[in-house]
Chains A and B, each alone.
Chain A
Amino acid sequence: MGAFSEIDPIQLAVTASRQTLRAWASDVDARNRFPHESIEALRQLGLLTYFIPRASGGPTDFVTYCSIAAVLAEECLSTALIWAMHCQQVAILVDHGGPEHKHVLDEVERTGALVASVTTEAGKGGDLLTARAPLLPEDDRVRVRRVAPIVSYAEHAAFFLLTMRSAEDQHEHDVRLVLVAREDAGMTVTGDWNAMGARGTQSVPVTFDLVVDNNRVFKKPFRQIAVQTLIPAAHLGWSAVWYGAARGAFRRFVRQLRQPENKSRAQLQSDLFLSRLADLRVSLDLMDSMITQAAARIDSLRHSNADVASYENITLNISLNNVKIAVSRLAFEVVDRLVELCGLAQGYMKNTALDVERVFRDLRSATLMYHNDRLLGVNGKLILVENSGAEAIWRRPDGL
């Protein structure tokens, strides 16, 4: 694996992004396939082990995680999303896994195994914190039988972390996380992924039906894992990816503006053009600030080993949701307005040097991934009780 600890991982990500992700992004999109070459490049550079603490040091903080995600997304949003989602699962294993989960981290370090998330389930309306399918005791083990409508890179992951209802007689919010390995067998991909954008993520429907040892089930309630690790890592990781994709398209556009062969160079004399260009930069800087500020706040909680209650602060949760809501809108808006500035030839056509058309399609998914309407609904309620001490009823002593 790469010399991760000696070299700035952001610099490694820049290298991978410019050399490999850029080369394959169009092909991945056109052929609607998993970005094998790009993920392999990340594996070789040791980037798939981000969040695993190492004796030799090296960062495991959220600010750096977001910077890497953005750098990767500049050239290939799908690869960056896969990386960010894999890292979220690694962070869960590091933060909350027991000794029986340790071998997964060893596999990630040794072979670059990918870990995928299984939280979607038909009929529960996209609520991350609930699960319908129950864990079913079977002899001394437990049966995992579950339909998941969307599992990103399911066919390329070696391990899966699934949300399951803790038992048949328990409520939907009593959720446990369970580790499943591909080699357990019993998973069937039941459809394909032919989407407008983010095509490389290959987010397919999967049915799981298998029996695993009881120790595969995480001891802590899922809500605690989600509040402390998954929700911050998911909101900030995805947001960083969307921001990075918009920033990448913007930078490619800016770079070619002053080229002598740019036929539209005359527009640099236009105050209106320059003002529109500057406006895009305002949006990019807004996204950057929101992400970095929230990531730094999570880092300070992590560095001080803050308890779960600190992560349940209502203001913190509103602001994390707002990062996702704002960035998912702004990133798409930036690329939409970039299409306007680029015009038909550069903005609307496929496979130009700017790749604006692909990024436009990729970023259309941002508001839909954990739908903004759901987050706005949650925030609407949280705002009404913010600063009233309502954490006491929002927070549960048992972590549910």
Chain B
Amino acid sequence: MTSTSDGIREQIFALLRNRLRLRQRQQDLTINSSLEALGLDSMTAIELLLDLERTFGILLPDVLLTAETFRTPATLEVAVRSLLEAKG
């Protein structure tokens, strides 16, 4: 895993590992892993959304609530970064 200086990616990975119970299932995560293939189901997606908003102090606007945003850790990171930048 490539680390990022601001730790945003690491935080997203930590949230995903926790929500998808990857440690218990001994599965690993890369920046382009398919979240669907890792077991992101409908309810977990909503829980993850709430996790992201709490952790980063952001509100994911309706326009970002798409299957594309929740496709991989990378797409989530793009969304989170864009909201953090807008926040300033």
Query: Chain A residue with minimal CB distance to B39?
Result: A171
Whether A400 contacts B69 by the Cβ 8 Å rule is no
If A388-B65, A389-B65 touch, whether A400 touches B36 (CB-CB below 8 Å) is yes
- Which residue in A173, A382, A384 is a CB contact (below 8 Å) of B41? A173
Whether a CB of chain B sits under 8 angstroms from the CB of A378 is yes
- Which residue in B36, B43, B63, B65 is a CB contact (below 8 Å) of A378? B43
Query: Chain B residue with minimal CB distance to A388?
Result: B62
Which residues of chain B come closer than 8 Å to A171, judged between CB atoms?
A: 38-39, 41
Of the listed stretches B9-17, B45-53, B80-88, name the one at the interface; the rest are far from the partner chain. Answer: B45-53
Whether A393 contacts B43 by the Cβ 8 Å rule is no
CA distance A164 to B80 in the complex (A): 36
CA distance A400 to B42 in the complex (A): 8
Whether A381 contacts B43 by the Cβ 8 Å rule is yes
**Which residues in window 16-45 of A have CB below 8 A to B?**
none
CA distance A396 to B65 in the complex (A): 13
CA distance A172 to B43 in the complex (A): 13
Whether a CB of chain A sits under 8 angstroms from the CB of B66 is yes
CA distance A171 to B39 in the complex (A): 6
If A381-B47, A384-B50 touch, whether A392 touches B67 (CB-CB below 8 Å) is yes
Interface of A: prevailing SS: loop
Whether A390 contacts B39 by the Cβ 8 Å rule is no
Closest CB of chain A to B47's CB: distance in Å?
Answer: 7
Q: How many residues from B make CB contacts under 8 Å with A?
A: 18
CA distance A393 to B19 in the complex (A): 15
Closest CB of chain A to B19's CB: distance in Å?
Answer: 13
Which residues of chain B come closer than 8 Å to A393, judged between CB atoms?
A: 42, 45-46, 49, 65-67, 69-70
Whether A395 contacts B46 by the Cβ 8 Å rule is no
Query: Chain A residue with minimal CB distance to B68?
Result: A392
Closest CB of chain A to B72's CB: distance in Å?
Answer: 13
**Which residues in window 350-400 of A have CB below 8 A to B?**
378, 381-382, 384-385, 388-390, 392-398, 400
Instruction: Identify 6 residue pairs between A and B in the complex whose beta-carbon atoms are under 8 Å apart, listed by A's number.
Output: A171-B41, A173-B41, A388-B62, A393-B45, A393-B66, A394-B45
Given A378-B43, A381-B46, A381-B47, 16 more contacts at CB 8 Å? A129-B41, A171-B38, A171-B39, A381-B50, A384-B46, A385-B46, A388-B65, A389-B63, A390-B46, A392-B66, A393-B65, A393-B67, A393-B69, A394-B43, A396-B42, A398-B36
B residues neighboring A (CB under 8 Å): 36, 38-39, 41-43, 45-47, 49-50, 62-63, 65-67, 69-70
Q: Which 10 A-B pairs have the closest CB atoms?
A: A171-B39, A173-B41, A393-B45, A389-B62, A394-B42, A388-B62, A390-B65, A392-B66, A393-B70, A389-B65
